[in-house]
Structure 1
Amino acid sequence: MRSTLPAFNEVWQRQFRSSVLKQIQCFPPESTFLIGCSGGMDSMLLLHLMSDLFPKKIRAIYIDHQLQSISADWGQFVSDQCAVLNVPCIVEAVEVQEGNLEHQARNARYQGYSKHLKPHEILVLAHHQQDQAETLILRLLSGAGVHGLAAMKQLDVREQFTIWRPLLDISREQICQWAAQLDVQNIEDPTNLDTHYDRAWCRHELWPMLQKRYPKMQQALSRTSYLMQDAEDILLDVLQQDLIACGSATELDLTELSQLSTARQRQLLSVWMKGQDTYRPSFEMVERLLQEVIKSKSDAQAALHWNQFYYVRYQQKLFRLSAEEYLAEKNASHLSEQTIQLELGQKVDVLSGQYFPETAAIGLSALLLGKKLDLVMRQGGEKIHLYGRVGAWPLKKAIQEAQIFPWQRHRIQILSIDNVMLGVFTPKGFWLAHSEYCEVGGWQPNLIS
């Protein structure tokens, strides 16, 4: 793998090549690389270096955020430079959602990357040492904990894809010298000078002042991020043990959670709420979950909405529900009485799931098969005489005894004919009601999904 690139500093080039060759040893042999190119100096230098080190194994992608009228021209510039280097290039236009512009642009960018990444393809980004230091400063000012101060990892293995940052230990000054010596063409995004944005303010206002006082600040902050990454790895080991003891990705046992120290409770809730997302919730949001939901009165129906999920407590468990699941009751409020016909061996879909009518030791009369049966929503106040039990009792009590979650109860439907209750479809199966239609060798709907 002999380089054809000239060396403005043989020591730096030798160190960089040695570092890259060491890092790629952890990649599968079939790995290829997708380089994120903005057209700026950092990413264009990375493109040149990667095209020299790994010809035929790289592609480039330019994400057009469509925030500036000239952004499409920048995409064309990147494409033209890739053509010179014989590197395939993708230009992907994305829509940036409303909200914090820097945050939403980053989300849109990574969604664009995800769309084009192939199996065994690694996303390569041009973040460098000053980027790392700036990230740590900004996160420190936002009140981040260990996870935030760990900043960016050189090799970031995520659920969806892997990110590699081979320039992360190289200073901005080195990159500028190398790019100039290689005559790397690049563009300048004017927003990089707009101190309205936090990172531009940090780079142009705060950074010079701090560096004047602390000349080795960049290296020191970079070192701090690596120490925080070590601390985060240790913390994650503890959190994995706590999560196994307390529950799963969708629910936590509050009795088990209460056995942990306050600090471990807070950390576990933080990483549990994060789930598969990139960022953890704020300290304030975790405190709200503790105070408003976990410590609320036992009969309260408290819920906390954060990042498209709802967090609710039922008895001694805490649940993480998608907005679709939590709000399903409101969406189903328009449903009223309907009729269905059931046949042996024919699947039927109702609100509580998919059922398969089958013969049973005790069940409904075969005379009901093929007939129009009434299916109505539970209104409240109904009583049911469950087959095999003495007397009728409130359906509400049966639901509570079966521990059907409150946010699932809207899916309960009563099956009847001529105002005679035949049974109840629930998320935990079909409940046969005692009636004149029950017989030995009859049939029942069985819940299959």
Structure 2
Amino acid sequence: MTAGAEPASGFAWPEALCVAVRSLPEHRRLWVAVSGGLDSTLLLHLACHGHAGAARPKAIHVNHQLQPNAGETESFCRELCQTLGVELTVRRVAVAERMAGGGPSGLEEAARHARYEVFESLLAPGDLLLMAHHADDQAETVLFRLLRGTGVRGLAGMPRYRPLGRGRLFRPLLDFDRAQLVQWATRAGLRWVEDPSNTDPGFDRNFLRHTVLPVLKPRWPGLNRRLAHTATACADSAWLNDRLAEIHWQSCGDDSGRLALTALAGLSPLEQQNLVRWWIRRGGYPLPPRSDWSQVVAELCGAGADREPELLGKGFAVRRYRRHLYLVPQRPPLPTAPMAVTPGRVLAWGEWRVGLYPTVERQGEAPAIRVSTRQGGERFRPAPDRPVRPVKKWLQEQGVPPWERARIPLVFRQEAGGWTLIGIGDLWCHGQYSGSAPVAGWRLIVERDCD
């Protein structure tokens, strides 16, 4: 299918559409997500029209390789962009290999994640990506999330403007119904490719689009506007919830990123839930899809001192220790055997970095140094005038949480009688290997990566 570079002779783009693509957030480089369908084809034409005389936008097409006409659609996008003088980037993804669940819904979600991962990988700081979602898409999103079960944040629908990777995403067509876009695109003589999956009622959004919404719209005229109003009201409520959480964080949070249970106890249960959810999102993690938040947060905050409540999520866990809640990132497994430290080179040990470096005053060869985790029974002398202490008990006294004790690197030096402990994470280092002028002539540095 071919596409013309310009609309039909005599056609003028409506001013409302022109304003939508002229009034864009500040950006360094403009991208347009192009699927080959009506909406994105129209948006690309508008972006080119609105940037006449300026730098041409760039286009991104993600080929999910799911439909029989996937190749035809990719070819159409290439021809469209060539005709408009737009540089096109195509990425092919294997969606079927990464499905999060079975059936059409799982496929739909996997395709979305794959698509956005491509966008994030391409956007640079200062880049702006335009997407062609319109008012009908927003209505479907709000209804879909309502039926799936969500709070005000989900019912806020798709934001018009948000961060995406190192750039930003903007949806300039959210105020227009699809029927309007079809009418304008037809008058302009534009051509596009239909995705055959768009008529498959097995997909939840298609079921809403073709079965549910056509029944609702005659009964409630202006349904898209009504749902858009609901989305806006929910977005306002979500913003206020975040603002309240930020205020509570000032009294409940600390410089280590923890939440103090004593301060949390002064909040109402709803305020506690709001703060904990905000805290998790602030850490960059998605909220677990739970319906029992009140019970979970009550357990985290109010369980007995002998209990160890835990909330598990994707890539993180919320744990409690000594009257604080910790947001703990999921870590890769540590090496199962001790590892030698090569002088002058950094040894990666999980989230830790261990290095042994010579000083100007050093004499002789480098000592044999190795790193391992606690095996049990390790002892050390914290200072020359202090008694020998069990490492386990000392870590407890330092307030190191149990999950960190299991990962903290222990550094040993080889001596005639075996291996001697000379370092415990970034908490303690033997005097011979620390200070301004280490006696051993070698300086031991153990650092934790910044999260």
TM-score by length of 1: 0.82
Matched residue count: 423
TM-score by length of 2: 0.81
Q: Does 1:211 align with 2:224?
A: no
AA aligned opposite 1:141: L
1:405 to 394, 401, 407: 401
- String of CA shifts for 1:327-382, please: whole Å, max 9, x gaps: 53xx33x214x76687xxx56648454244678xxxxxx89963546766532234
Q: Does 1:282 align with 2:289?
A: yes
Q: Does 1:311 align with 2:318?
A: yes
In structure 2, distance between residues paired with 1:230 and 1:174? 28
Match of 1:42 in 2: 39
In structure 2, distance between residues paired with 1:270 and 1:84? 48
Q: Tell me if structure 2 keeps the 8 A contact 1:129–1:218.
A: yes
Match of 1:380 in 2: 376
Report the Cα offset of residue 249 of structure 1. 9.0
In structure 2, distance between residues paired with 1:431 and 1:404? 16
- String of CA shifts for 1:70-113, please: whole Å, max 9, x gaps: 21221111111122222221211123211122222111101111
Report the Cα offset of residue 154 of structure 1. 2.0
Cα RMSD for the two superposed structures? 3.5
In structure 2, distance between residues paired with 1:150 and 1:88? 34
Q: Tell me if structure 2 keeps the 8 A contact 1:312–1:318.
A: yes
**CA shift in 2, pair 1:347/1:259, >3 Å:** farther
Match of 2:123 in 1: 117
**CA shift in 2, pair 1:376/1:66, >3 Å:** closer
1:335 to 311, 322, 337: 337
AA aligned opposite 2:14: Q
What aligned pairs does 1:429-440 form with structure 2 within 5 A after superposition? 429-432=427-430
Report the Cα offset of residue 174 of structure 1. 0.5
In structure 2, distance between residues paired with 1:130 and 1:374? 62
Q: Does 1:265 align with 2:290?
A: no
Match of 2:89 in 1: 90
1:187 to 185, 188, 193: 193
Q: Tell me if structure 1 keeps the 8 A contact 2:341–2:347.
A: no
| Structure 2 spans left out of the alignment, 5+ residues | 1-5, 101-105
Q: Does 1:202 align with 2:204?
A: no
| Structure 1 spans left out of the alignment, 5+ residues | 360-365, 435-439
Match of 2:103 in 1: none
Match of 1:362 in 2: none
In structure 2, distance between residues paired with 1:20 and 1:340? 57
**CA shift in 2, pair 1:247/1:176, >3 Å:** farther
What aligned pairs does 1:44-63 form with structure 2 within 5 A after superposition? 44-55=41-52, 56-63=55-62
AA aligned opposite 1:67: L
**CA shift in 2, pair 1:8/1:254, >3 Å:** farther
**CA shift in 2, pair 1:47/1:357, >3 Å:** closer
Match of 1:256 in 2: 263
Q: Tell me if structure 1 keeps the 8 A contact 2:20–2:173.
A: no
Match of 1:428 in 2: 426
Q: Secondary structure at the match of 2:14?
A: helix
Q: Secondary structure at the match of 2:327?
A: strand
Identity over aligned pairs, percent: 26
In structure 2, distance between residues paired with 1:348 and 1:35? 43
2:133 to 127, 135, 139: 127
Q: Tell me if structure 2 keeps the 8 A contact 1:270–1:281.
A: no
